[in-house]
Structure 1
């Protein structure tokens, strides 16, 4: 029964990235005091001053390097303070109707914009990843759940919403950062030339910010992708950085030649490459984006049964809606550059749908919160997402998938070495570049009309790449501009809103907080797989592949705690585990035996089962049995007959699938594949970072240009000892004893050093740490792993 209340609508948002923050800013600016938003994000942490911030390299996290293109028609629908704040530092128009901006900049600016709403109490930030054990899911004290938590969405799995794949393609991402004050020969190409080179073919794509910081994306055939992963895995296994300038480590093999030729085509020196990332692009979408969710909450009420006068306790169930937005609802091919635009459109559409559902029918301009929200109130959002999916997946992503580069790559390898073919390919590529230039020059809105691209620049692009690369780019189809341009799905067509009615941004005071510093927890999965006695060979292979994957094997490669606000996960306990039992009874005994481990903070328990088990029992029996000992534990039913599993799907937080891909996501292997951290690259050494290109170190020391750690410490030992020190991540106890018993004294401060740190014992953390004070706070870091630069002997 719906009820009208003066209390605000409480919304829990899983995911504090661009989509989650866009949704929160829009709904807060439209509904004001009538809404309370609680955002969960595991990539945040609370620092020693009680301020919530993004985790970065100092906390062992890799921030996103990608640059995105934000379309004007999307930005025109957000509040004015949103537009001005987002492009406050970088406002670059590369293409006629859009602006380029790094994802990291989007995250930082939107995070700044949400702070006034945090201060006035409309928004609460929780630096944790939402999971089955989160407080709000247990207590059920909210009205709407929003999943803006990426392609491996917890909310989507929690609601048992299936994903439908349209196809898979493979790519490689090469991140680079070109500093200021470099030799003229290293200066990057102008954005006008970058655009022409990108549009004329579909093998390489550059998306950059001010031509200096960005991503070179490379489409790969499947064999090239497998070879790239194999090469990168070798470096990851040895815990080494890549070095594109070292041909002993990265020889002139086909896969490294593909990377180097892409860099040459866009005149990006390998010394400025910072990361190489394998990318598996799975173009897929959720079967639905709005679901009515019934789940058990941790509240009790007395029954009115006369047979028990005192009243007995029984569990309560609550029904509410869950909605998906962004990659949680739909993955598009990043090549057309519409992924973040689609996510922001979904966020704005959902916010406006909620406002519509809470608008009074008698007084159109007043808000009347009625709970619970009804599924029928969100039919327009479901319809909007269907149209958006049709436009972005069918209209933009699938043409790229169907325009495979396999044929052009194969033909290039066959004929590129012939002189007459090389001449023909070079001529054709040059003509394609000139045709693209001509099309751009004819556009009155082309933002680079004052910077014409010359014939010599186009010819130079053809001349500086190898004969094989010339053949590939000549044979690759040009950008399908007709499919990429054209009609757009507009938020305002389905959800019209007078932009003048956005509430003004709250006034922000000094950012203060009394929250204690957070301990960053890397969630560890304890997974129990219940198989029947007749386990198939296929299941055995899958189990083996999981148990031997990097997420489950070789825990010695985890890094230790660095500072007081870093993840404290240096032990084996930070890695996932998969255990296999044959019967329900064995599963129940395992749960009893491992009770303490299951209750450990940061541990998430999951169960996998087949549909049919021994003695006629099914997954329904499994769910009832395991949840008797571990309520709300997520269950995945791995079966090739998912149509039989409907009785089990009536339970919350249950998934049924026959796809190994879904199974791997469930156990934590295929998580956020489009944002794989990849391998860092060891660039050509520079003595020091330019002052305008590095963030100031907390210790006030001189930063290294590559690792951004302190270079103020001088090593006085011999080369053999230096090599031993640099291998510290593989030290055994005898090596640690050698270090602590005196070899640490081989590091002394340089003459003229500005580092304010001290190296010595600090009990309760490490036997020896680097510690320093700044802004009234104490900073601690592991000397080798967290503070001193080890890029080269100095």
Structure 2
């Protein structure tokens, strides 16, 4: 260890929320600052096992583990610390590559990977517990406005979700969010409600991808067919999604508000919330033909070749977005006796995103890596943080927010024939009310074939026309009408350039990238002997090119902050 590192004070970091984003941030910071950071993580969803390890609480402890399958883009997992990559992906049975490559998963980095969120949580927690300078605390953090619990903490990293107690306590320090950006009327944020169906599909991944992209009603994200079939609901359908307590003879919205997972152990059983003892009302009503929603759920199962016996759980998600003005803030100013504390929002606490395009967790991972790189670069022997230290991180977060939320917004709305922006949920609802008659089976087949042919070799073993026709034959005319009118994913508008953090950390990019080959030497210009001044001008031009190249190299290696100083030095030497 050199003397410079020995003199650098310890950066004390408190993380609130030990989900995937908080744990990845801790592990990334630990890799970048192996001796200079002391990290503690609070999470009340943990407990200590009989053998002494910190583990996630289970159902018996009142914690329902998330079982959703998430998609991690290769642009994110390529930046993971090596021990994280090995922990998550060393067992090929634990992940699949369902989705094709694209801008956020370029071919040279690899395909997107589907993996169960609970497995990610388990592996990252295990890594964190066995990493020095990371302390796990199996209890909730107690926020206080007087800063007593933050004494000596240089930074409080808040990643306890959009409804977390710590986020709620400090959110006013980060400015007021704007819900009008993602609204139809410019005021109230548009809210989607999505039904999450725990299923086992028999379709190959390539077929499931084509069916998903071809419409905006159902979305299957799975691991070997086992995952969640998500169903976007029309406003009138949302009103059906409630629980019913048979003992108290009352309704409950726990499936939407908590949200709870209603499960059944056997195919003949009803779906019940074990926490609140409420039953899924649409399934009960369907027994007497009183539910409009339940037959539409069963149509979604037919589309993705799911036996009704393989529907084992139901939950719901309320999804909306808002524009956040900033992501870091000074929580406690420094005094003569205290260094002060900064706060940073990460994950859903920073920027909840509609999950339909599959970027919520990826945005959280990217924000975690951005903050870790910022702290590793800006923490110096002075042992202080200031507003300007977070400038690049704020820029990275603004890039993420703009890119992922504008993409998600395109997954929430469409444009009617008059050019008006309308919610897709409204289009779905109207598809059951208007009486337009077309050959919807042929229209949907044509769309499926076009998507299959466009994806080409990006999909492994795509379905034939015959296989697609067989799927269509299982569906009712009304379902086909809804699928056609909900429109396919607007990939042309949603696609394009992705947020690239390497633009913000040129010196780190230079260190990580292989050295570029030297540029070819410029061809010599003819210099007439009889014009003595021309030779000097030729030398001056070459020297100017050399100076420009030296300045560019200096900028590349040391970052934009050194640009003016480098240019002045070089010109002075000339």
TM-score normalised by the shorter chain: which range applies?
A: 0.7 to 0.9
TM-score (norm 1): 0.53
CA distance in structure 2 between the aligned counterparts of 1:498 and 1:468, rounded to whole angstroms: 53
For residue 114 of structure 2, the aligned residue among 86, 92, 100 is: 100
Q: CA 1:11–1:410 in 2, change beyond 3 Å: closer, same or farther? A: closer
Report the counterpart of residue 224 of structure 1 in structure 2.
Answer: 237
Q: For residues 202-250 of structure 1, what are the alpha-carbon distances to aligned partners after superposition, in whole Å with 9 as ceiling and x for unaligned?
A: 1110000111x21111111222112213668386697145498877658
Report the counterpart of residue 160 of structure 2 in structure 1.
Answer: 149
Contact 2:161–2:167 (Cα < 8 Å) also in 1: no
* Paired residue secondary structure (1:168): coil
For residue 53 of structure 1, the aligned residue among 37, 55, 75 is: 55
TM-score (norm 2): 0.73
* Paired residue secondary structure (1:322): strand
Report the counterpart of residue 453 of structure 2 in structure 1.
Answer: 438
The Cα of 1:258 is off from its aligned counterpart by 2.3
Contact 1:65–1:104 (Cα < 8 Å) also in 2: yes
* Count of equivalent residues: 451
Report the counterpart of residue 478 of structure 2 in structure 1.
Answer: 468
CA distance in structure 2 between the aligned counterparts of 1:13 and 1:354, rounded to whole angstroms: 14
Q: CA 1:285–1:41 in 2, change beyond 3 Å: closer, same or farther? A: farther
For residue 331 of structure 2, the aligned residue among 275, 293, 305 is: 293
The within-5 A match list for 1:244-643 is 251=289, 253-294=291-332, 319-358=340-379, 368-394=380-406, 396-403=407-414, 404-415=423-434, 421=437, 424-441=439-456, 444=457, 446-448=458-460, 451-496=461-506, 497=508
The Cα of 1:296 is off from its aligned counterpart by 11
Contact 2:95–2:223 (Cα < 8 Å) also in 1: no
The within-5 A match list for 1:111-190 is 111-117=125-131, 120=132, 122-132=133-143, 137-138=148-149, 140-159=151-170, 160=172, 161=174, 162-165=176-179, 166=182, 167-178=189-200, 188-190=202-204
Supply the RMSD in Å over aligned alpha carbons. 2.9
CA distance in structure 2 between the aligned counterparts of 1:143 and 1:369, rounded to whole angstroms: 14
CA distance in structure 2 between the aligned counterparts of 1:79 and 1:317, rounded to whole angstroms: 33
The within-5 A match list for 1:2-81 is 6-81=8-83
Q: Which has the higher helix share?
A: 2
Report the counterpart of residue 95 of structure 2 in structure 1.
Answer: 91
The Cα of 1:322 is off from its aligned counterpart by 0.6
The Cα of 1:133 is off from its aligned counterpart by 6.0
* Paired residue secondary structure (2:432): helix
Q: CA 1:357–1:233 in 2, change beyond 3 Å: closer, same or farther? A: same
CA distance in structure 1 between the aligned counterparts of 2:38 and 2:61, rounded to whole angstroms: 30
Contact 1:292–1:322 (Cα < 8 Å) also in 2: yes
CA distance in structure 2 between the aligned counterparts of 1:461 and 1:176, rounded to whole angstroms: 20
* Paired residue secondary structure (1:414): coil
Q: CA 1:137–1:268 in 2, change beyond 3 Å: closer, same or farther? A: farther
Contact 2:243–2:279 (Cα < 8 Å) also in 1: no
* Paired residue secondary structure (1:78): coil
Q: For residues 416-437 of structure 1, what are the alpha-carbon distances to aligned partners after superposition, in whole Å with 9 as ceiling and x for unaligned?
A: 6x8xx2x611111111111111
Q: Which runs of 5+ in 2 are unaligned?
A: 1-5, 102-111, 183-188, 245-250, 254-271, 415-422, 514-574
* Paired residue secondary structure (1:94): coil
